[in-house]
Amino acid sequence: MRLESWFTINFRSRTLRIFVFFLPIYTLLLLYARAKGSRDPGSVFFDPWTGYDQSYSRARIEEGDSYIQKIDDLDDHDIHEIWKASEKPQLCVGIATVSRELKGKQYFRNTVGTLLDGLSEVERSQIYLIFFPAHSEPSDHPDFRQPWFNALPDRILLYNDSAEIDIDHIRTLEQNKESIGRQKALLDYQYLLRTCQDIGTPYTLMVEDDVIAQDGWFHKTQEAISAAESQTRQIGASKWLYLRLFYSEEFLGWKSEEWPIYLYYSVLIFSFVLFTCLGIRQYNPQSAITGGSIVLFSFIITPLLIILFFATGRVTVFPVPHGVHRMPDSGCCSQAFVFPQSRVPELLDLYHSQQAGYIDSITELYANNNNEIRWALTPSIMQHVGSQSTKDETGNLGRPSRFKSKDEMKGTERLWNFAFETNDVDRLREEHENAKEIYGY
């Protein structure tokens, strides 16, 4: 048979035509998956330029800085007119902050500015704000003597405010870097949480000093708390442990320990396609399903689609639904926890019983052992600013020459909510203004 005839026959075969028709469709699916998976850290299409770009954070930091600058520019008379908490606030917001060793890495100003920028007087009155410069000598914190630092909070908490604090022990812990992270930070958290408990607000929000709050975070937190309470009652429970306002999608991808599940469903889909084709062929020999078609659908097209499915990333193909939902595992980290007042005493007992450890790890272990209900808000309304250091030009909010690869990143640098950066400044501002009208803020 001549070569030209061979090509003609094969090109005219039904199997080849199906494959040729499939290729552009698969290419389009591939391009779509690449675009959608660019912000999914578990996707092979993840793009650091897209994922770690501060699309929204940069704009929000600038808004927060402008707010802080306005406070610094106030004269002594006007500074006493700054809005503060009412007699019965609804939320105690506690922020422990320490001086960071790396020059230019003080994020506390960003945290405070973004928490307060855009709040109405009514919203601010619902918040009891506590700054805790967690140093034995508070003046060691670079922001301690700044006008805004002293003007904005409802209280500045110091170690010497309590006779229960062994200041000599604190000084000893400050001399050891490992003790600072595992022991002193735990003591700081307890001290601040106990202080918020004494304020008597129904809920406490513990915020770390390296986060950015989106515009409208307060009304969304209030809505999320209401949803958490309602959904807890719906499932027949009487209490919940915390509401998470930040998490990283980094830990929501395909899990290696679940490979048997993935394999099971992949084999199931493959088998379904194979036996469906075989059944059609068996009961209708005149059908379009030929032997070549069976091979094409079962051993080429189906595996290619399965591979693309997993390559796209779990967060992309199974996105976390918006709203309040349970997150019993894979939630990280302790950047922004809301605790009901009723749970604070046992949490304080828990933290006090530990000699050392990290807040998120201790809390999660306790929750796992006691089947505690944990809620999370999606999209996250807080961002971890530490990911600025994933850029090779630190301290620069402009676009760097490159981003580090994941292998080059430290653990804290990878704490990043990728969806947070898709926020739109104007849309969030409009949502916030609408909420003020609806809720009388």
More confident site: 176 or 276: 276
DSSP H helical segments within 73-216, as ranges? 76-79, 108-116, 121-125, 147-151, 167-174, 177-179, 185-199
* CA distance linking residue 199 with residue 218, whole number of Å: 19
Stated pTM of the model: 0.88
Please, which pLDDT band fits residue 333 given cuts at 50, 70 and 90? confident
Question: What share of the chain in percent tops pLDDT 90?
Answer: 68
CATH topology assigned to domain 52-252+319-393+407-439:
Spore Coat Polysaccharide Biosynthesis Protein SpsA; Chain A (3.90.550)
CA distances for 203 relative to 265, 339, 343, angstroms: 43, 6, 9
Residues ≥6 apart with Cβ < 8 Å to 366:
350, 372
3-state secondary structure at position 332: coil
Please, which pLDDT band fits residue 367 given cuts at 50, 70 and 90? very high
Please, which pLDDT band fits residue 59 given cuts at 50, 70 and 90? very high
* CA distance linking residue 303 with residue 297, whole number of Å: 9
Location of each CATH 3.90.550.10 domain in the chain: 52-252+319-393+407-439
Lowest mean pLDDT among 46-50, 116-120, 121-125, 372-376: 46-50
pLDDT tens, position by position, 309-332:
999 999 999 999 999 999 988 778
> Dihedrals φ, ψ of 416, to 5°?
-155, 130
> Strands 127-133, 91-97: parallel, antiparallel or unpaired by DSSP?
parallel
Mean per-residue pLDDT, 40-56:
91
Nearest to 216 by CA among 439, 428, 434: 428
Residue 332 is predicted with a pLDDT of 84
Mean per-residue pLDDT, 351-380:
94
pLDDT tens, position by position, 120-145:
999 999 999 999 999 999 999 999 99
pLDDT tens, position by position, 388-428:
543 344 444 444 445 556 666 666 667 899 999 999 999 99
pLDDT at 9 > cutoff 60: no
Q: Are 98 and 135 in contact (CB under 8 A)?
A: yes
Residue 394 is predicted with a pLDDT of 43
Residue 35 is predicted with a pLDDT of 94
Mean per-residue pLDDT, 323-342:
92
pLDDT tens, position by position, 218-235:
999 999 999 999 999 999
Residue 17 is predicted with a pLDDT of 85
pLDDT tens, position by position, 150-203:
999 999 999 987 767 888 888 888 887 777 778 899 999 999 999 999 999 999
pLDDT at 5 > cutoff 70: no
Residue with tokens 């469709």: 25
